[in-house]
Amino acid sequence: MKFEIVELEDFSGPQASIYSVKVNDDADTLFEKFLAENKDKFELEIYDILERIDLIGFEHGARRRYFKENEGGLGDLICALYDSPNANLRLYCIRMGSAVIILGGGGYKPKTIRALQEDPKLTQENYLLREVSKRLGLKMKEGEIFWVNDYELGGNLIIDDDE
């Protein structure tokens, strides 16, 4: 499987850089797919999510208060963007300190379920992002992906099994 880390320039700002992931040779990122899948049914929640991401990039950075941490395995940095109490959308991301987030996918999470494992769609989205995080960490250890400054990733942002 091939992953490409892509900067979302419309959301990246002086406080944080915002990225998403293209899988294999898909035209859309995981985040773009999330928006397309949910925009009609959850328009107000999508608006709220977009507003929060904008605040992260341009105003506040990726502060802890925006995220529900420990949504993945130990040390993989998987979080969920906090939703408002009445919201039902869950968006998974990789939070790398207060300066970088990598947006993944997610979906509808009814309040009647407690764990993401109770929903096949959420499980799939979460575990895909765990794999991205694991392989990103290896590429950073190898020096192929690195910090350009305190809030930006550089290097070869394509992570490919065939390499």
* Tens of pLDDT, residues 76-134: 899 998 767 677 889 999 999 889 999 999 998 877 777 777 778 898 999 999 999 99
Number of structural domains (the chain) is: 1
Angle (nearest 5°) at CA 37 between 35 and 39: 55
Pairing status of strand 17-23 against strand 100-108: parallel
What 23-28 contacts at long range (C-beta under 8 Å, 24+ apart), as own/partner pairs, is 23/128
Residue 163: which pLDDT band, with cuts at 50, 70 and 90?
low
pLDDT in tens, 50-82: 999 999 999 999 998 888 888 878 788 999 987
Question: 31 and 20 in contact (C-beta within 8 Å)?
Answer: yes
pLDDT in tens, 90-101: 999 999 988 999
How far is 2 from 22, CA to CA, in rounded Å? 8
pLDDT above 70 for 162: no
End-to-end CA distance of the chain: 11
Q: Which domain holds residue 151?
A: 2-160
83: amino acid identity, one letter: D
Paired tokens of 27: 């035209």
Question: 8 and 138 in contact (C-beta within 8 Å)?
Answer: no
29: amino acid identity, one letter: T
Taking the whole predicted model, whether its pTM rises above 0.85 is answered as: yes
